[in-house]
Amino acid sequence: MSDHINRPCELFVVSPQHVDRAWQEGAYKLGDALKLAQGECTPDQLKMRLSRGELTLLMVSTDEARAWLAVEFMQMPNIRVLHVYAIHAPGATLDAAFDLLAKYATDGGASAIQGACTEAVSKLWAKRFGFQEMYRISRRTL
């Protein structure tokens, strides 16, 4: 693997009371991830959910980029997962960044990480990080 993929990085959990500041520093870019959701949640609503602690804001920092993630732990009948609700990570999809996210997930009791994503992202996650596509969600607005 190249040095780019193995560069050191850090993961920060942003407390709900600091979401407004983080939003100003770049977390607002999570709004780009919501475009595919077609109105399910607006950027302002996402910020509100993060500020209320309904979702957790994570920031992964590398020398050259910052990744922002809105996540939540979900307890299903047979598995606990860390669900990535929204992500903005151009230039920060490093093996080291995923390792930090995996540690955060296991520290929270999760045995898996999941997230809704496009087909292209699903293929990237499968190739880079060993994800397996479980199913796709399709929606028809009435």
| Confidence check: pLDDT of 118 > 80 | no
What pTM value is reported for the model?
0.83
How is the chain split into domains, by residue range?
3-116
Given pLDDT bands bounded at 50, 70 and 90, which one contains residue 122?
A: confident
- Give the 3-state secondary structure of residue 91: coil
Q: Which residues of 5-21 are buried (b: 16+ CB within 10 A; e: fewer)?
A: eebebebeebeeebbee
| Confidence check: pLDDT of 41 > 80 | yes
Given pLDDT bands bounded at 50, 70 and 90, which one contains residue 140?
A: low
Tell me the pLDDT tens digit for each residue of 125-139.
Answer: 778 888 787 777 766
Higher pLDDT, 125 or 31: 31
Identify the architecture of domain 3-116 in CATH.
3-Layer(aba) Sandwich (3.40)
Query: What are residue 51's DSSP bridge partners?
Result: none
- Which residue is listed with tokens 């709004």? 31
